[in-house]
Structure 1
Amino acid sequence: MELTNMKSRTMPTSFTRMHGLKLAALALGSTFVLAGCAGKPPTEQYAVTQSAVNAAVSSGGTEFAAVEMKAAQDKFKKAEIAMHDKKYEEAKVLAEQAEWDARVAERKAQAAKAQKAVQDSRQGVQELREEGLRSAE
C-alpha cells in the first residue's frame, strides 16, 4: 500500500488576524451592552419600595414598628442618594432592603393592631360576664 501526502490548506495569517480582531470587537461590544444594562436606573424597584413604605406608614408602622420603619426610611433615603449619584446597583439593593423592612413594619403593625383588638374583645367579654353576674344576684 502506498502512502501519499495530502496537502492541506491552512487559512492565511491575514484571515486569522481578521478573525481575532472580529472576536475582540464582539467581546468589547458585549461589554458595552452589559455595562449599559447595569447602568439602568432601578425605577420599578424604587416605585415598589416607595409604595411599600407608604403602606407601612398608613398601617401604623411608625407607631407599632418604629425600629423597622426607621430602617426602611433610612435605607430608602440612601437609595435615593445612590440613584442621584448614578450608583444604580447600590440603589437597587438598598431599595430592595428598604422594601422588605417596610413590609416587616407593616406586618408588625397589623399584628399589633390585631393583638389590641383581641385584648379589647376579651375586656368586653369580661365586662359582660361581670354585668351578668351582678344582675343575677
Structure 2
Amino acid sequence: MELKTMKTRTGKSSSLHGLKMAALAIGTGLVLAGCAGNPPTEQFAVTESAVNSAVSAGGTEFAAVEMKAAQDKLKQAEIAMHDKKFDQAKTLAEQAEWDARVAERKAQAMKAEQSVKDSQKGVQELRQESQRTVQ
C-alpha cells in the first residue's frame, strides 16, 4: 500500500515538475521573442561611427577591400532592418563594424609605413647632400 501511495505522489510531482518546466520554457521563449523584436539601433550607431572613422583614416584608399566589405554588410544590415529581421541586422552590423575597424587599422598602418619610408628617404637625401658638400 505504501508503494502505491509513493508512486502516486511521484507521478503527481513529476507532472507538476513538467508543467513548471513547460511554463519556464514558454516564458523564456516570450522573453527571447521580445528581445528579437527590438531593432539594433545602438549597434547601427556604433557601426556607422566605425565606418566613418575608417573613411576618415583613409580606409577607402589604403584598405579598399575591407572598406567595401564593411559598407556592403552595413547595406545588407539596413535591408534586414527594413525587413524587420533584427537578429540578422544586428549580426551584419556587428560584422560591418569589425570590417571597418580592420580597415581603419590597416589604413593607419599603411600611413605609418609610408611615413617611415618618407623619413628614410629624407635621411638618405641628407646623407647624400652632406657627402657632396664634403667632397
- Short-chain TM bin: 0.7 to 0.9
Write out the 4+ residue segments of structure 1 that deviate beyond 6 Å after TM superposition. none
Structure with a larger share of its residues in helix: 2
Q: Work out the CA distance in 1 between the residues paired with 2:86 and 2:65.
A: 26
Question: Residue 34 of structure 2 aligns with which residue?
Answer: 36
The structure that has the greater radius of gyration is 1
1:97-136 to 2 correspondence within 5 Å?
A: 97-136=95-134
SS of the equivalent of 1:101 reads helix
Gaps of 5+ in 1: none
Question: Residue 61 of structure 2 aligns with which residue?
Answer: 63
1:23-102 to 2 correspondence within 5 Å?
A: 23=20, 27-102=25-100
* Deviation at residue 25 of structure 1 after TM alignment: 5.3
Gaps of 5+ in 2: none
TM-score scaled by structure 2?
Answer: 0.82
* Deviation at residue 97 of structure 1 after TM alignment: 0.7
Which residue identity is paired with 1:130? Answer: Q
| Deviation readout 1:33-81 (Å, 9 max, x if unpaired) | 2211122111111111111000000000000000000000000010011
Number of residue pairs the alignment of both structures matches: 130
TM-score scaled by structure 1?
Answer: 0.81
RMSD: 2.5
